[in-house]
Structure 1
Amino acid sequence: MTQYPVGPYLGKIQAGFGGVVILCIDVSGSMSGSPLESAVQGAKKFAEEAILAHYEVGVTLWNHSIAASIEPKRELSPVIRFLGGATSCGGTDINDALQAAHDLLRGRSAEIDRVVAIFGDGDLGDRDRAIVKAAAMRADDIRILTLGLGRESARALEEISTEVNEQPRTATVNTIAAEIAHLANGLRRR
């Protein structure tokens, strides 16, 4: 552990302190303009903080389906480039994003922290399906952190969150970037 230069086991030791996170950002039509720009700014800061905390970071841009995604990486620059291409369109349904995150994360070791962090400005879409999927993810020890734009969205997303908060995480139009970046604080479980 105190070897310099570092030995061949440093990566293994660091992996035990981090994990993998999929950041899901709502890019539905209602996010166009300033809200999407702020969400992208916050997502970039989130990714930076997560990578510093030894997490691999993947991103899913979602609307009524999956608009685009990038596999988890421990490098910041590909994630930043990917986020720079975000555009808004479509409706709102979190289910495809949940399914893709579950498929990816259940294939990862249960020894690491596996997290899905979700930001949205609407409802869940097919609510019953989302609640069932979130329960299956919880059963696989995958954590779900949520942040909604406005109270109604925050309450809807709270239904699938694994966090226990007095109030659901809520952003305003003016605090989107800061609140998404702040979601990275939920990664520091270990």
Structure 2
Amino acid sequence: MAAGWTRKSFSSDGVTEYPVGPNFERLRSRFGGAVVLALDVSGSMQGDRLIKAVKGCKRFIDEAVEAGYRVGLILWHHDVAADVPPEADPKAARELLRRAADSSGGTNVLACLGLAHRQLMATDAGDRVLAIFGDGDLGNRQAAETKAAELIADDIRILTCGLGEGSAQELASISTEKAAPRTATSENLADSIASMAQGLIRKG
């Protein structure tokens, strides 16, 4: 009696040859990660706060790149001040961060969320993450929570860090993290922003 098996064909991206084939970069990006780091540059960040925040962002970018993430950067206040989309080479993000010397305006995270959403959805990545630092509130909290829900529905994780308990609690309302709100102080500001990189753990 013949064995009851069915012949099946299997296919995959052609990356097993050496040297690697033309599909390698596409496959690596699909299983890698992409993160947009959003830095609050509103007027209240002026001076020492912004200097320390930039230091923390530099460390975050270094750790994200080491973990295999493409990195983008958004400078935000009541709108978007400047941005670069996620790229494998962090040169553009680092250059923009070096130019984050000025702070002005109020605080409304809605435009930042919308831009990050578009940038991340345009990126072929296995893990999409938005990491936001702020020292104030969300602006229009209801609108921000509604927009954040759209990102979450598209499988984008949101990490947050706020300067002071009030800001940390406000930002935590749009976070996907289950731990207590990540709260920075004036003394540990750089360390707290950099610590968001610990959340760059790819989902199984």
Aligned-residue sequence identity (percent) comes to 49
Pick from 161, 167, 170: which aligns with 1:147? 161
State the match for 1:116 in structure 2: 130
- TM (norm. structure 1) is 0.91
2:59 is aligned to 45
Give the CA deviation at 1:77: 2.6
**Could you tell me whether the CA contact under 8 Å between 1:15 and 1:54 is conserved in 2?**
no
Deviation, structure 1 residue 53: 1.3
Partner SS for 1:156: helix
**Distance of 1:96 and 1:14 partners within structure 2:** 30
Greater C-alpha Rg: 2
Deviation at residue 2 of structure 1 after TM alignment: 8.8
Q: Which runs of 5+ in 2 are unaligned?
A: 1-14
CA contact (8 A) 1:32 1:88 kept: yes
Query: For residues 152 and 188 of structure 2, what CA distance do their matches in structure 1 show?
Result: 29
Structure 1 Cα separation of the partners of residues 86 and 186 of structure 2: 28
Q: Which moved more, 1:176-185 or 1:6-15?
A: 6-15
Which residue in 2 is equivalent to 1:83? 97
The whole-number CA distance in structure 2 between the counterparts of 1:30 and 1:103 is: 27
Aligned residues: 188
Tell me whether 1:100 sits opposite 2:95 in the alignment: no
SS at structure 1 position matched to 2:93:
helix
CA contact (8 A) 2:86 2:120 kept: no
Q: What is the CA deviation profile of residues 37-71 of structure 1, one whole-angstrom value per residue up to 9, with x for unaligned ones?
A: 11111111111111111111110000010111112
Q: State whether structure 2 residue 40 is matched by structure 1 residue 26.
A: yes
- The CA distance in 1 between the partners of 2:142 and 2:160, in whole Å, is 17
Structure 1 residue matching 2:71: 3-state secondary structure: strand
Structure 1, gaps ≥5 residues long: none
Three-state SS of the structure 1 residue aligned to 2:84 is strand
Per-residue deviation, 1:11: 3.0
Kept after mapping to 2: 8 A contact 1:14/1:54: no
Q: 1:17 & 1:181 partners in 2: Cα distance?
A: 23
Residues 107 and 75 of structure 1: is their aligned pair in 2 closer, same or farther, counting only changes over 3 Å?
closer
Q: CA RMSD in A?
A: 1.8
1:185 aligns with 2:198: yes
